[in-house]
Amino acid sequence: MNAQSRAPRRVTSKQYRPQKARRERLLAGIGEGVAVIPTATEKLRNRDTPYPYRFDSDFWYLTAFPEPDAVLVLVNGRALLFCREKDAEREVWEGFRYGPEAARAVFGFDAAFPLSALEAQLPRLLADKPALWHALGQDSENDARIARALNAVRDMSRAGVRPPALLHDLRQTLDAMRLIKDTTELALMQQAAEIAAAGHLRAMRACRPGRFEYELEAELSYEFRRRGAAGHAYTPIVAGGGNACVLHYVENDKRLPDGGLVLIDAGSEVCGYAADISRTFPVNGRFSAAQKDCYEIVLAAQAAAVAAIRPGASFDAPHVAAVRVLTQGMVDLRLLSGTVDGLVESGAYRRFYMHRTGHWLGLDVHDVGNYRQGETWIPLAPGMTLTVEPGLYIRPAPDVPKPLHDIGIRIEDDVIVTKRGCQVYTHAPRTVAEIEAVMQGRD
């Protein structure tokens, strides 16, 4: 059986209705204009060995077409795909390629062509169109291709043909679409969340003094892949003891300290969608009194932040709520002295909590979408997905009580804004009691 005859049986165009619906929405938005959306190019890791391929998120959102060397063009109410041709020889080495015909049929494009035809077709597609929609600066190869096409249209000016007079930033339109997730996206994000939570549970169960951070990373990777995720949605953080106070710690190569905490920030990727979960737990399975005090403060900050999420609330509301609880906690722990209002106002709390409480989540772990309109934070709306991730990071210092040294805690969950409020959809052990119960039950 050859690869081509297999293609239509792998998937049916019915599965790609959401992508078609998104293309139609975008087509309606661009009117008489033309949109050009390339996927990501393959990148070499070293010499002739590529990095694992990851498609461009915008292209994926509109197509679900997984191959590199592909460009989507939306024009005249139609979706055109330009992609690699079938190539029996290359397919022996690199695997199956759809080729234009199967790609059109399976993914529901109006027409599909070899990528090699794009250079010649693009000037004709742009000619006499009022506007071009393009993410300028995202992909230099595509920028150059578009510049060549515009120049080719300009060269036809004596024949009475004009290039588009307007250039729109396609990202602004697509970012706004991607900010509100549809039901297909929410289902995939929940799958990613389930798998990520299972990975965290596995890592908790595998943790004991003497093990190395990378051993827990391996448990996460194993569980993610075993359950069919593409892998990690971002480089995982497995940070024992004071390493947790380095916010982007990714070495994951130290021994886990007995009596210390370990912070894991890891999420799986499913069909392009990210989960983003952080959990912090005691390496030996039991929180010390000081660790527990700190942990309860972060947990309370998270609960306050979640309680602030509802349609119409500002994106900043969960952060404001978390900061107040954390700052009160810093006073209670004798890390800071003063009034909560004063410490929030002066920003003194930033010494121990220096990041924001969340971000949009979706195809990108730090997903697209505006956070502010001018000075005003944008209001939350149903279908938005965001993280809630308060933390406390206490580096050793003479003015810091000794039992608090090297405590770094983040508790991060993923949340959907619903019609009436919100839903936390990541379910890994979160409370002190839940974590200690899991860790006591280790083999």
Shortest distance, position 332 Cβ to ligand GLY, whole Å: 26
Tokens of 400: 């810091």
> Which region holds residue 175: left if phi is over 0, alpha if psi is between -120 and 50, else beta?
alpha
Assess 364 for contact with ligand GLY (CB under 6 A).
no
Assess 365 for contact with ligand GLY (CB under 6 A).
yes
Is there a catalytic annotation at residue 427? no
Among the listed ranges 48-56, 270-278, 332-340, 415-423, the one in contact with Mn ion (CB under 5 A) is: 270-278
CA distance 38 to 19: 15
Residue 217: CB atoms within 10 A of its CB come to 22
Shortest distance, position 375 Cβ to Mn ion, whole Å: 24
Query: Residue 288's Cα: distance from chain center in Å?
Result: 34
Check: CB of residue 403 under 8 Å from CB of residue 271.
no
Residues 396-425, one symbol each (x = binds Mn ion by CB under 5 A, - = not), give: ----------------x-------------
Check 410, 413, 414, 425 and give the catalytic one: 410
CA distance 25 to 78: 12
Size of the site for ligand GLY (CB under 6 A): 7
Strands (E) in 215-369, as ranges, are 231-232, 237-240, 261-266, 268-270, 273-274, 277-282
Assess 276 for contact with ligand GLY (CB under 6 A).
yes
According to DSSP, residue 52 is labeled P
Tokens of 92: 């022996």
Check 16, 98, 393, 425 and give the catalytic one: 393
Is there a catalytic annotation at residue 276? yes
Q: Which candidate, 177, 233, 260, 211, places its Cα nearest to that of 426?
A: 233
Assess 58 for contact with Mn ion (CB under 5 A).
no
Shortest distance, position 230 Cβ to ligand GLY, whole Å: 16
Is there a catalytic annotation at residue 134? no
Q: How many residues does the chain have?
A: 443
CA distance 165 to 306: 46
Assess 406 for contact with ligand GLY (CB under 6 A).
no
Tokens of 421: 């409020």
Q: Which of residues 146-165 bind ligand GLY (CB under 6 A)?
A: none
CA distance 198 to 227: 9
Shortest distance, position 276 Cβ to ligand GLY, whole Å: 5
Assess 276 for contact with Mn ion (CB under 5 A).
yes
Task: Report how far apart, in Å, the C-alpha atoms of 66 and of each of 98, 108, 122 are.
Answer: 10, 14, 22
Check 200, 202, 359, 430 and give the catalytic one: 359
CA distance 30 to 125: 14
Nearby residues of 105 by Cβ (< 8 Å), 6 or more positions away = 8, 13
Assess 265 for contact with ligand GLY (CB under 6 A).
yes
Q: Which of 156, 234, 284, 351 touches ligand GLY by CB under 6 A?
A: 234
Assess 367 for contact with Mn ion (CB under 5 A).
no
Assess 265 for contact with Mn ion (CB under 5 A).
yes
According to DSSP, residue 428 is labeled S
According to DSSP, residue 256 is labeled P
Q: Which candidate, 118, 139, 120, 113, places its Cα nearest to that of 58?
A: 139
Is there a catalytic annotation at residue 389? yes
Assess 387 for contact with Mn ion (CB under 5 A).
yes
Is there a catalytic annotation at residue 412? yes
Is there a catalytic annotation at residue 168? no
234 binds, among ligand GLY, Mn ion, none (CB under 5 to 8 A by kind): ligand GLY
CA distance 340 to 325: 9
Nearer to Mn ion (CB atom), residue 202 or residue 359:
359
Q: Which of 185, 389, 406, 413 touches ligand GLY by CB under 6 A?
A: 389
Nearer to Mn ion (CB atom), residue 156 or residue 424:
424
Is there a catalytic annotation at residue 366? yes
Question: Applying CB under 5 A, which residues contact Mn ion?
Answer: 265, 276, 387, 412
- Give the active site residues: 48, 248, 265, 276, 355, 359, 366, 389, 393, 410, 412
Question: Applying CB under 6 A, which residues contact ligand GLY?
Answer: 234, 265, 276, 359, 365, 389, 412
